[in-house]
């Protein structure tokens, strides 16, 4: 188990980490998310010993992370650390040997991971000749080539095409299946939601939400998702007497809420003093209703609700715009 306990770090007057604590279990994929500047990269650098914490501890299987332990970690930094003028194959073999593998193991693992990640044909090319996406694949190979027992990956999916995303996703799942703890950061929240066993949301250096995706979604306010075959004006007229203000469906156009010609999608919060079935009947009087179902918020919605950025001014937050406060499109 990887345990982070009450990490604190300041840079001048900036409190980068504020008593940050969480853990990653063996065989678990932990999605570490937060806005830019929230403290994700700082925390990962401290885990790897690249940066010292002001206070707090990082432990793996009950022991402090020392140099010997860190050699068994696969680390992918946010600033990619490859040698641009060195060939891919020799570079990966060199990095594997730095982590303690012998020459034969380093060569065999280099062949395996370049093959798995689709860059075997570029082994003899200098890194600087590769596209950014292929450089990203080499960087992942560098984190895996020494058979690590723990993975710490900072934005591993950045710049990857969909095929590479699927390959990398499978690799992370396979490593976790061997019992290795895996922690990765990403701004692609749909990917985090799909891959992670547990998720931690960090804001201004502290953990503001942590748990399985289902646990986090259960903390959100349930909404009713509706797809109605009527104009916005007609829908507004029907809902107003109930005191209901609809909002745009954030999933509209996705596989979960596909677009349908002549249909408007919206969500609203149920009211204790209003029978949902009365609302449904009123909507059905003005047109077909293709969906009327409860929905828990997705990770992206929870993220927006709990994350605070340094630029936020809570006392000056504008009121949320309703569905019909924007220019009508239908």
Residue 92 sits at the vertex; the CA angle it makes with 88 and 94, to the nearest 5 degrees, is 120
Specify if 82 maps to a domain. yes
Specify if 278 maps to a domain. yes
Are 130 and 210 contained in the same domain?
A: yes
What's the total number of domains in the chain? 2
The pLDDT value recorded for residue 223 is 82
Of 217, 239, 268, the domain-final residue: 217
CATH number of the domain that residue 230 is part of: 3.30.70.260
Specify if 286 maps to a domain. yes
Q: What is the pLDDT of residues 294-305, one digit of tens each?
A: 887 777 777 776
d(CA 80, CA 169): 19
| Plot region of 323 (φ>0 → left; ψ -120 to 50 → alpha; else → beta) | alpha
Of 164, 198, 217, the domain-final residue: 217
> Mind giving me the DSSP string for 194-235?
HH-SEEEEEETTEEEEEE-HHHHHHHSPPEEEEEESS-HHHH
Q: What is the pLDDT of residues 27-37, one digit of tens each?
A: 999 999 998 88
Are 66 and 165 contained in the same domain?
A: yes
Q: What is the pLDDT of residues 23-75, one digit of tens each?
A: 999 999 999 999 888 999 999 999 998 999 999 999 998 888 888 888 899 99
Of 217, 243, 268, the domain-final residue: 217
Rg of the chain over Cα atoms, rounded to whole angstroms, equals 24
Domain boundaries, position 286: 221-316
The pLDDT value recorded for residue 312 is 45
Specify if 324 maps to a domain. no
d(CA 158, CA 165): 9
- Quick one: which of 75, 20, 14 has its CA closest to 45? 75
Half-sphere exposure of 6 (CA within 13 A, CB side): 2
Specify if 329 maps to a domain. no
**Helix, strand, or coil here: 86?**
coil
The pLDDT value recorded for residue 307 is 65
- Is residue 151 within 8 Å of residue 74, measured between CB atoms? yes
The pLDDT value recorded for residue 305 is 67
Specify if 321 maps to a domain. no
Residue 101 carries which DSSP code?
-
The pLDDT value recorded for residue 66 is 82
d(CA 136, CA 81): 10
Buried b (16+ CB within 10 A) or exposed e, 174-185: ebbeeebbbbbb
The pLDDT value recorded for residue 322 is 47
Are 27 and 124 contained in the same domain?
A: yes
pLDDT in tens, the chain (330 residues): 999 999 999 999 999 999 999 999 999 999 999 988 899 999 999 999 899 999 999 999 888 888 888 889 999 998 877 899 999 999 999 999 999 999 999 999 999 999 999 999 999 999 999 998 899 899 999 999 999 999 999 999 988 888 888 988 999 999 999 999 999 999 888 899 899 999 999 999 999 989 998 888 777 677 889 999 999 899 989 999 999 989 888 778 777 778 888 899 998 988 889 999 999 999 999 999 999 988 877 777 777 766 654 444 333 334 444 454 444 444
pTM: 0.75
């Amino acid at each position: 188990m990887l345990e982070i306990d009450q990490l604190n770090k300041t840079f001048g007057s900036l409190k980068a980490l504020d008593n940050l604590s969480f853990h990653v279990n063996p065989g678990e994929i932990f999605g570490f998310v937060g806005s830019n500047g929230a403290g994700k990269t700082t925390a990962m650098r401290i885990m790897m010993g690249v940066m010292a914490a002001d206070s707090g501890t990082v432990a793996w299987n009950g022991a402090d992370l020392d140099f010997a332990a860190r050699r068994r970690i696969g680390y992918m930094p946010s600033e990619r650390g490859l040698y641009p003028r060195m060939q891919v194959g020799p570079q990966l073999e060199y990095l594997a040997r730095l982590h303690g593998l012998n020459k034969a193991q380093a060569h065999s693992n280099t062949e395996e991971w370049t093959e798995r990640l689709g860059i075997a044909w570029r082994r003899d090319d200098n890194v600087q000749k590769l596209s950014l996406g292929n450089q990203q694949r080499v960087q992942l190979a560098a984190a895996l080539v020494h058979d690590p027992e723990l993975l710490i990956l900072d934005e591993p999916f950045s710049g990857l095409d969909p095929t590479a995303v699927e390959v990398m996703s499978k690799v992370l799942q396979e490593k976790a299946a061997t019992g290795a703890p895996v922690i990765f950061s990403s701004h692609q929240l749909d990917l985090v939601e799909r891959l992670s066993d547990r998720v931690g949301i960090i804001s201004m250096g502290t953990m503001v939400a942590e748990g399985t995706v289902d646990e986090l979604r259960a903390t959100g306010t349930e909404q009713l998702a509706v797809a109605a075959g009527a104009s916005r004006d007609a829908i507004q007229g029907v809902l107003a007497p109930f005191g209901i203000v609809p909002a745009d469906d954030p999933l509209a156009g996705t596989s979960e809420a596909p677009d349908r010609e002549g249909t408007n999608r919206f969500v609203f919060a149920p009211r204790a003093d209003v029978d949902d079935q009365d609302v449904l009947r009123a909507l059905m009087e003005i047109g077909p209703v293709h969906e009327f179902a409860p929905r828990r918020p997705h990770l992206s919605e929870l993220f927006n609700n709990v994350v605070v950025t340094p630029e936020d001014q809570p006392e000056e937050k504008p009121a949320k715009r309703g569905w019909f406060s924007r220019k009508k499109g239908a």
